[in-house]
């Protein structure tokens, strides 16, 4: 029977991948720190390997007897971390995972990248997997770190390692312990409904669809391919109104002009440099003025279409946080 290792297996995406693997009958081992919270996998029958992707020896031990490695461990809450740490974990950590997989004769590595590692177009044509990263790295150190991590994956492929890359867009759903994308649900439920929103938009997808795509990619994804994962494109205004409707709160946000958002971004940068802790940072605001929509037809065709409607995803997220007493 195939045994899979999930790095970051106690986190948002990793725990759902572990759950999906178990549902399909695979054996699962999760790599975690000794201090990791186990809430998300407490009910799962999995093996535990204590270690860290920056500790090469712990990776070798964790991969002993493993067929597949799902590498999901990363710094995703980039606005809470400094760029140096983002690059160290996301790039150096990925390099360690790949080297360990090669040394331990792992059959396949499924790498969780991000839609942020893909570039933008200026001609209004859909952005797909072929669009190379062309953002200013200073605007998105997280996206740049994932782009560099993918470069490490391609180097490993050229050395003979079987790898598949998945690029999820914005992920929603129950189990977001660290309150990354799903934090919007908490804020709205607490009556922190902003009167204004930025003019851009994003592609959304439920975490359970992301997990299913990962396991299917391990089963039949094509070596060396990137797969954008997304379900629906929404503006920030539509996202806010969907969230407010799901939690039973009124919301009629006004869309701010992009120049006003850029001014707010500059003020956020000044506050950050002054040591003021904010729930967002300047580059987040700058990116929020863009329509970050992605063409996910390739993953729909080869890995399966998303099944969880975004309205249901938001409702399930709300119910999950309520069950934990967080709202």
What CA–CA distance (Å, rounded) separates 30 from 7?
6
Q: Any bridge partners for residue 29, and if so which?
A: 5, 47
**Nearest residue to 111 (alpha-carbon basis) of 148, 78, 140, 136:** 148
The catalytic position among 146, 237, 249, 298 is 146
Tell me if residue 130 falls in helix, strand or coil. Answer: coil
Strands (E), 81-200: 108-112, 163-168, 170-172, 196-197
Residues 273, 274, 277: CA angle, nearest 5 degrees = 85
Element (H, E) at 141: helix 141-158
Strands (E), 72-151: 108-112
Q: Mark whether 249 is an active-site residue.
A: no
Quick count: other Cβ atoms within 10 Å of Cβ 169? 24
What CA–CA distance (Å, rounded) separates 302 from 300?
6
Contact 228, 296 (CB under 8 A): yes
Strands (E), 27-181: 27-32, 47-50, 68-71, 108-112, 163-168, 170-172
Question: At residue 228, what are phi and psi to the nearest 5 degrees?
Answer: -70, 130
Tell me if residue 167 falls in helix, strand or coil. Answer: strand
Tell me if residue 237 falls in helix, strand or coil. Answer: helix
Tokens 């700058």 belong to residue: 286
| Positions marked catalytic | 146
């Amino acid at each position: 029977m195939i045994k899979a290792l999930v790095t970051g297996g106690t986190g948002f995406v990793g725990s759902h991948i572990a759950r999906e693997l178990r549902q399909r009958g695979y054996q699962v081992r999760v790599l975690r720190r000794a201090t990791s919270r186990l809430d998300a996998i407490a009910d799962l029958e999995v093996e535990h390997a204590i270690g860290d992707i920056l500790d090469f020896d712990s990776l070798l031990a964790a991969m002993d007897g493993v067929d597949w490695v799902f590498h999901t461990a990363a710094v995703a809450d980039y606005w809470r971390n400094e760029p140096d740490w983002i690059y160290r974990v996301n790039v150096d950590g990925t390099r360690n995972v790949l080297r360990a997989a090669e040394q331990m004769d792992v059959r396949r590595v499924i790498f969780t990248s991000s839609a942020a590692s893909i570039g933008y177009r200026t001609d209004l044509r859909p952005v797909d997997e072929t669009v190379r990263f062309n953002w200013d790295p200073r605007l998105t150190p997280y996206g740049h770190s994932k782009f560099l991590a993918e470069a490490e994956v391609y180097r490993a492929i050229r050395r003979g390692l079987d790898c598949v890359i998945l690029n999820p867009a914005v992920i929603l759903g129950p189990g977001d312990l660290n309150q990354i994308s799903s934090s919007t649900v908490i804020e709205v439920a607490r009556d922190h409904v902003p009167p204004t929103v930025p003019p851009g938009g994003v592609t959304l997808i439920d975490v359970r669809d992301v997990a299913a795509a990962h396991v299917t990619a391990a089963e039949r994804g094509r070596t060396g391919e990137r797969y954008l994962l997304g379900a629906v494109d929404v503006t920030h205004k539509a996202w806010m109104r969907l969230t407010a409707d799901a939690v039973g709160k009124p919301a009629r946000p006004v869309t701010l002009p992009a120049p006003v958002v850029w001014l707010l971004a500059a003020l956020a940068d000044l506050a950050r440099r002054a040591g003021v802790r904010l729930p967002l940072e300047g580059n987040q605001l700058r990116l929020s003025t863009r329509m970050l929509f992605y063409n996910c037809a390739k993953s729909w065709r080869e890995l399966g279409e998303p099944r969880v409607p975004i309205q249901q995803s938001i409702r399930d997220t709300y119910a999950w946080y309520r069950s934990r007493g967080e709202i």
